[in-house]
Amino acid sequence: MNTIIAKAGVDDDRMYEQAAEILKRGGLVAFPTETVYGLGGDALNPDASHRIYAAKGRPSDNPLIVHIAETSSVYELAETVSDDTKKLMEAFWPGPLTIILNKKEVVPHTTTGGLDTVAIRMPSHPVAMRLIKDSGVYIAAPSANLSGRPSPTTAQHVQQDMDGRIDMIIDGGAVGIGIESTIVDMTGDRPTILRPGYITPEMIRDIVGDVTIDPAITGMNNALRPKAPGMKYTHYAPKGELSIVEGDRLAAAEKIRSLVAEKKAQGYKTAILCDTDNVSLYDDGVCENVYDAGSKKNEITVSAGLYSLLRTCDDIGAQYIYSESFEEGDMGYAIMNRLIKAAGHRIISC
Ligand code: AMP
Ligand code: MG
């Protein structure tokens, strides 16, 4: 398949028309959202969801998020929209919050991975918005990466994974947030966070009062089954062995320097992910491929570049990767959730 690559902002009318045609006939279009790039297909067309699973190499029990452009669409897709749900929609849409609701008949089980619930989000990215509106379809879109690869935050990442596998990629530049949406389940007694993201538990608590976090995602008990089926897979893993080194700033840097020295002596290629303020700590003439992963003081600088750095580590062929911990600030929890998964839970404390 020849994948069309179109840049947003060049010949928009033609581009959206072409993308809309593809979606309406059941094809696949990758597009930017404010979180990561999505791989879109018509959410109400089972053939389109089959194509999404095939293109990603994704297990089909892993449900897709349905993207909408108007609040009224929720009532066509979901049963019983509670007052609390309405408050969340009002507070955070359009934006990086996905809400799980009981699905209506029209939503095929292929889209929901066999579940009777549906995940719905209204993205704020202008390209995503216009694509949904112009195509007139609800767009089911998981992240536009091959299953097991880091989510794409640029059109080039999408191209690396999806060229020849999908109909079209819309290049809208680098995304702003860089990690996937917060998922909140509103089908139970209390709002439950199934995946942490830019919208924090505190922000949700401020709107609806009580909120719980799915105990399976806190990482403490590996035996629990996450309520979001996708959270059980080892996602976002770079090809090299990633370890997180946590502890006091100087002690962690010393540990990383010694681990790098040891691996380099054995002939391995290494890389380091560190805070902007700590780059100079690795200036010892031994450390190589030291990447500034953003500043903990401004966590969006960390989330925005995280997946891209993991891909860079793959590109340079790093065999051992050491990352500082970024457990700080409002989004620290969401960032560490992704980083810990990428590291396969390898954490070195010092
Ligand atoms: P992605 O689109 O790649 O960000 O992945 C979508 C995430 O949403 C996965 O972790 C899914 O398991 C989760 N998800 C989608 N629909 C549902 C649902 N109905 N119930 C629970 N989790 C869902
Ligand atoms: Mg994904």
pLDDT of residue 193: 97
Which residues share a beta bridge with 168? 4, 29
Q: Distance between CA atoms of 49 and 62, rounded to whole angstroms?
A: 11
| Region 292-309 average pLDDT | 96
The residue among 153, 148, 161 whose CA lies nearest residue 55 is: 161
Element holding 185 (H helix, E strand): strand 182-185
The pTM (predicted TM-score) of the whole model is 0.95
Quote the ligand 1 centre to 318 CA distance (angstroms). Answer: 30
Task: Give the span between the Cα atoms of 244 and 339, in whole angstroms.
Answer: 8
Q: What is the mean pLDDT of residues 283-289?
A: 97
Q: Which ligand 1 atom is at minimum distance from the Cα of 143?
A: 3
Which amino acid residue places its CA nearest to atom 22 of ligand 1? 228
Q: What is the pLDDT of residue 232?
A: 67
The model's pLDDT over 178-204, given as tens digits with 9 standing for 90+, comes to 999 999 999 999 999 999 999 999 999
Which tokens go with 59? 């297990």
Instruction: Tell me the C-alpha to C-alpha distance, in Å, between residue 276 and each of 21, 144, 273, 326, 345.
Output: 45, 29, 9, 11, 24
What values do phi and psi take at 7, rounded to 5? -95, 125
Sequence-ordered list of residues with C-beta below 8 angstroms from that of 14, at least 6 positions apart, any chain: none
Chain segment 236-255, per-residue pLDDT in tens? 779 999 999 999 999 999 99
Confidence of residue 58 (pLDDT cuts 50, 70, 90): confident
Distance CA 196, CA 213 (A): 9
Q: State in Å: Cα 114 to ligand 1 middle.
A: 12
Is the pLDDT higher at 237 or at 32? 32
Residue 290: is its pLDDT beyond 90?
Answer: yes
| Residue 29 banded pLDDT, cuts 50, 70, 90 | very high
Which residues lie at CB < 5 A from ion ligand 2? 143
Residues 42 and 240: their CA atoms lie apart, in Å, by 36
Identify the band that residue 235 occupies on the pLDDT scale cut at 50, 70 and 90. Answer: low
What confidence score (pLDDT) does residue 342 get? 92
Question: Which domains occur in the chain, in start order?
Answer: 4-217 (3.90.870.10), 241-349 (3.40.50.11030)
Average predicted confidence (pLDDT) for the chain: 95
Q: How far is the CA of 110 from the centre of ligand 1 (A)?
A: 13
Q: Quick one: which ligand is closest to 229's CA?
A: 1
